[in-house]
Amino acid sequence: MRDIAFVFFLAAVLCVTGGMIWGLQMAASNDHSMVGAHAHLNLVGWATMALFGLYYRVTPQAARGWLPRVHAALAIPGVLVMVPGIAIATTGGSPGLAIAGSFLTFGSMVVFLFTVVRHGFGASATRLRMDSSSGHMTPAE
Protein backbone atom coordinates (compact mmCIF):
# COMPACT_ATOMS: atom_id res chain seq x y z
CA MET A 1 0.00 0.00 0.00
CA ARG A 2 1.31 3.42 -0.92
CA ASP A 3 1.52 5.99 1.87
CA ILE A 4 -0.66 9.08 2.14
CA ALA A 5 2.04 11.38 0.76
CA PHE A 6 2.12 9.29 -2.42
CA VAL A 7 -1.69 9.29 -2.67
CA PHE A 8 -1.82 13.08 -2.49
CA PHE A 9 1.09 13.56 -4.87
CA LEU A 10 -0.37 11.12 -7.41
CA ALA A 11 -3.70 12.98 -7.23
CA ALA A 12 -1.80 16.23 -7.79
CA VAL A 13 0.05 14.95 -10.84
CA LEU A 14 -3.16 13.55 -12.34
CA CYS A 15 -4.88 16.90 -11.80
CA VAL A 16 -2.11 18.95 -13.38
CA THR A 17 -1.89 16.57 -16.33
CA GLY A 18 -5.64 16.94 -16.87
CA GLY A 19 -5.35 20.68 -16.37
CA MET A 20 -2.62 20.95 -18.99
CA ILE A 21 -4.59 18.91 -21.50
CA TRP A 22 -7.64 21.08 -20.81
CA GLY A 23 -5.54 24.24 -21.19
CA LEU A 24 -4.16 23.04 -24.50
CA GLN A 25 -7.70 22.28 -25.70
CA MET A 26 -8.87 25.76 -24.69
CA ALA A 27 -5.93 27.37 -26.46
CA ALA A 28 -6.40 25.30 -29.62
CA SER A 29 -10.12 26.06 -29.77
CA ASN A 30 -9.70 29.69 -28.69
CA ASP A 31 -12.58 29.08 -26.25
CA HIS A 32 -11.58 30.07 -22.74
CA SER A 33 -15.06 29.94 -21.23
CA MET A 34 -13.98 27.21 -18.79
CA VAL A 35 -11.00 29.13 -17.43
CA GLY A 36 -12.51 29.26 -13.92
CA ALA A 37 -12.92 25.50 -13.68
CA HIS A 38 -9.50 24.99 -15.28
CA ALA A 39 -7.92 27.34 -12.73
CA HIS A 40 -9.52 25.47 -9.83
CA LEU A 41 -8.30 22.14 -11.19
CA ASN A 42 -4.75 23.48 -11.30
CA LEU A 43 -4.80 25.39 -8.02
CA VAL A 44 -6.81 23.06 -5.78
CA GLY A 45 -5.96 19.89 -7.68
CA TRP A 46 -2.29 20.39 -8.44
CA ALA A 47 -0.87 22.98 -6.06
CA THR A 48 -2.88 22.13 -2.95
CA MET A 49 -2.68 18.35 -3.31
CA ALA A 50 1.05 18.54 -3.99
CA LEU A 51 1.56 20.66 -0.89
CA PHE A 52 -0.46 18.16 1.16
CA GLY A 53 1.74 15.35 -0.16
CA LEU A 54 4.94 17.22 0.57
CA TYR A 55 3.74 18.10 4.06
CA TYR A 56 3.01 14.48 4.89
CA ARG A 57 6.41 13.45 3.50
CA VAL A 58 8.39 15.94 5.61
CA THR A 59 6.15 15.51 8.68
CA PRO A 60 5.91 11.73 8.98
CA GLN A 61 4.28 11.81 12.41
CA ALA A 62 1.29 13.60 10.80
CA ALA A 63 0.92 10.84 8.20
CA ARG A 64 0.10 8.17 10.79
CA GLY A 65 -3.35 7.06 11.88
CA TRP A 66 -6.81 7.52 10.42
CA LEU A 67 -6.94 11.33 10.11
CA PRO A 68 -4.75 11.58 6.96
CA ARG A 69 -7.08 9.07 5.26
CA VAL A 70 -10.09 11.21 6.21
CA HIS A 71 -8.21 14.19 4.81
CA ALA A 72 -7.71 12.43 1.47
CA ALA A 73 -11.30 11.14 1.49
CA LEU A 74 -12.50 14.75 1.62
CA ALA A 75 -9.85 16.47 -0.51
CA ILE A 76 -9.74 14.23 -3.57
CA PRO A 77 -13.51 13.88 -4.09
CA GLY A 78 -13.77 17.61 -3.35
CA VAL A 79 -11.76 18.43 -6.47
CA LEU A 80 -13.48 15.73 -8.51
CA VAL A 81 -16.89 17.18 -7.66
CA MET A 82 -16.05 20.91 -7.54
CA VAL A 83 -14.31 21.27 -10.91
CA PRO A 84 -17.09 19.75 -13.05
CA GLY A 85 -19.58 21.61 -10.86
CA ILE A 86 -17.90 24.91 -11.71
CA ALA A 87 -17.97 23.98 -15.41
CA ILE A 88 -21.69 23.14 -15.19
CA ALA A 89 -22.47 26.36 -13.29
CA THR A 90 -20.43 28.40 -15.80
CA THR A 91 -22.63 27.14 -18.64
CA GLY A 92 -25.83 28.08 -16.82
CA GLY A 93 -26.50 24.83 -15.00
CA SER A 94 -27.10 24.30 -11.33
CA PRO A 95 -24.27 25.29 -8.98
CA GLY A 96 -25.08 22.31 -6.71
CA LEU A 97 -22.02 20.23 -7.55
CA ALA A 98 -19.72 23.25 -7.26
CA ILE A 99 -21.17 23.98 -3.83
CA ALA A 100 -20.91 20.36 -2.67
CA GLY A 101 -17.32 20.10 -3.91
CA SER A 102 -16.45 23.38 -2.25
CA PHE A 103 -17.75 22.11 1.10
CA LEU A 104 -15.74 18.88 0.75
CA THR A 105 -12.65 20.93 -0.13
CA PHE A 106 -13.23 23.29 2.78
CA GLY A 107 -13.70 20.32 5.11
CA SER A 108 -10.39 18.87 3.93
CA MET A 109 -8.66 22.18 4.67
CA VAL A 110 -10.11 22.23 8.19
CA VAL A 111 -8.71 18.72 8.73
CA PHE A 112 -5.36 19.91 7.38
CA LEU A 113 -5.40 22.97 9.63
CA PHE A 114 -6.00 20.72 12.64
CA THR A 115 -3.20 18.41 11.48
CA VAL A 116 -0.69 21.25 11.09
CA VAL A 117 -1.57 22.73 14.48
CA ARG A 118 -1.30 19.29 16.08
CA HIS A 119 1.94 18.13 14.46
CA GLY A 120 3.76 21.26 13.38
CA PHE A 121 6.06 21.09 10.39
CA GLY A 122 8.91 18.71 9.79
CA ALA A 123 10.19 15.66 11.56
CA SER A 124 10.78 17.56 14.79
CA ALA A 125 9.00 15.07 17.03
CA THR A 126 11.81 12.65 16.30
CA ARG A 127 15.10 14.34 15.61
CA LEU A 128 16.79 12.73 12.63
CA ARG A 129 20.43 12.45 11.64
CA MET A 130 22.17 11.17 8.55
CA ASP A 131 23.72 7.75 9.11
CA SER A 132 27.12 7.97 7.42
CA SER A 133 27.43 4.25 6.76
CA SER A 134 24.05 3.76 5.05
CA GLY A 135 23.25 7.28 3.86
CA HIS A 136 19.76 6.99 5.41
CA MET A 137 18.07 9.21 7.95
CA THR A 138 17.85 7.57 11.38
CA PRO A 139 16.53 8.77 14.76
CA ALA A 140 19.10 10.82 16.67
CA GLU A 141 20.10 9.63 20.10
pLDDT 10s digits, 28-68: 999 999 999 999 999 999 999 999 999 999 999 999 999 99
pLDDT, averaged across the chain: 91
Q: Residue 130 has what pLDDT? A: 57
Helix residue ranges per DSSP H, 1-141: 4-29, 35-40, 49-58, 67-90, 96-119
Contact call for residues 11 and 42 (beta carbons, < 8 A): no
pLDDT 10s digits, 73-109: 999 999 999 999 999 999 999 999 999 999 999 999 9
Distances (CA, A) of 74 to 2, 36, 103, 127, 128: 18, 21, 9, 31, 31
Q: Residue 122 has what pLDDT? A: 86
Judge whether residue 125 has pLDDT over 70: no
Q: Residue 138 has what pLDDT? A: 55
Q: Residue 123 has what pLDDT? A: 80
The fraction of the chain above a pLDDT of 90, given in percent, is: 83
Among 64, 73, 58, 57, which residue's Cα sits nearest to residue 111? 73
Specify the DSSP class assigned to residue 66. Answer: S
pTM of the predicted protein model = 0.83
Contacts of 65 (CB under 8 A, 6+ apart): none
Distances (CA, A) of 115 to 69, 108, 112: 12, 10, 5
